[in-house]
């Protein structure tokens, strides 16, 4: 194998690399693999266009330092949406926040009282929604009480929907 400036330029038997690929030239490194397999680094530079487009329309929440900053960004998005239009966003990480707690629906209701909101955690496995989002979920479901999150159900705290969803509900 011949390598130049960190790039594999030729692969083959030693005589082929030396004679036909410049393997003996200055600046060219020759590596004898002795029958071993080599696989160059691989960059997968593809994009899922639907997700990329949705991300462009969503509220960017990566790196927000607090619930208050999240609320400010959601409020700014509400100003550019009509009443009843969905506000989506993602990338928030509660572990970066001083209080280290998930946001809840009341915090979203305060800044988006007339728009359904769904904000996905940086992990993609948890989301928080406002009152309207969960009202719509309840209308689509025959369930009247959600009590756990492990299988994707909406969590309740003290008998009230907290706004948190996990796994399957967070991703739909």
Q: What is the value of pTM for the model shown?
A: 0.57
How far apart CA 104 and CA 126 sit, in angstroms, is 12
Tokens of 158: 């003290």
Beta partners for residue 70, in sequence order: none
Instruction: Give 148 or 93, the one with higher predicted confidence.
Output: 93
Please give the domain boundaries of the chain with CATH numbers for all domains.
1-45 (no CATH), 49-169 (3.10.310.70)
**Does residue 66 carry a pLDDT above 80?**
yes
Tokens of 154: 């909406």
Highest mean pLDDT among 30-39, 53-62, 67-76, 122-131: 67-76
Instruction: Give 172 or 135, the one with higher predicted confidence.
Output: 135
How far apart CA 70 and CA 94 sit, in angstroms, is 10
First to last CA, the chain: 48
C-alpha closest to that of 164 among 141, 140, 146: 146
The mean pLDDT of the chain is: 78
Contact 97, 66 (CB under 8 A): yes
How far apart CA 111 and CA 68 sit, in angstroms, is 10
Highest mean pLDDT among 28-37, 45-54, 162-171: 28-37
DSSP 34: T
Q: What pLDDT is attached to residue 135?
A: 54
Tokens of 133: 């989002």
**Does residue 50 carry a pLDDT above 70?**
yes
C-alpha closest to that of 67 among 103, 19, 91: 103
């Amino acid at each position: 194998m011949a390598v130049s400036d960190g790039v594999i330029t030729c692969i083959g038997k030693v005589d082929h690399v030396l004679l036909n690929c410049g393997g003996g030239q200055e600046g060219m490194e020759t590596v004898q693999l002795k029958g071993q397999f080599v696989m160059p680094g691989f960059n997968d530079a593809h994009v899922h266009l639907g997700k990329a487009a949705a991300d462009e329309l969503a509220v960017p929440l990566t790196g927000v330092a607090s619930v208050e900053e999240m609320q400010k960004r959601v409020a700014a998005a509400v100003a550019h949406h009509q009443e009843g239009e969905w506000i989506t966003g993602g990338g928030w990480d509660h572990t970066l926040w001083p209080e280290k707690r998930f946001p809840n629906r009341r915090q979203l209701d305060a800044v988006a009282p007339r728009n359904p909101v769904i904000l996905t955690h940086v992990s993609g496995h948890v989301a928080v929604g406002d009152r309207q989002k969960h009202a719509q979920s309840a209308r689509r479901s025959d369930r009247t009480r959600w009590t756990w999150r492990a299988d994707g159900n909406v969590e309740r705290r003290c008998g009230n929907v907290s706004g948190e969803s996990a796994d399957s509900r967070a991703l739909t």
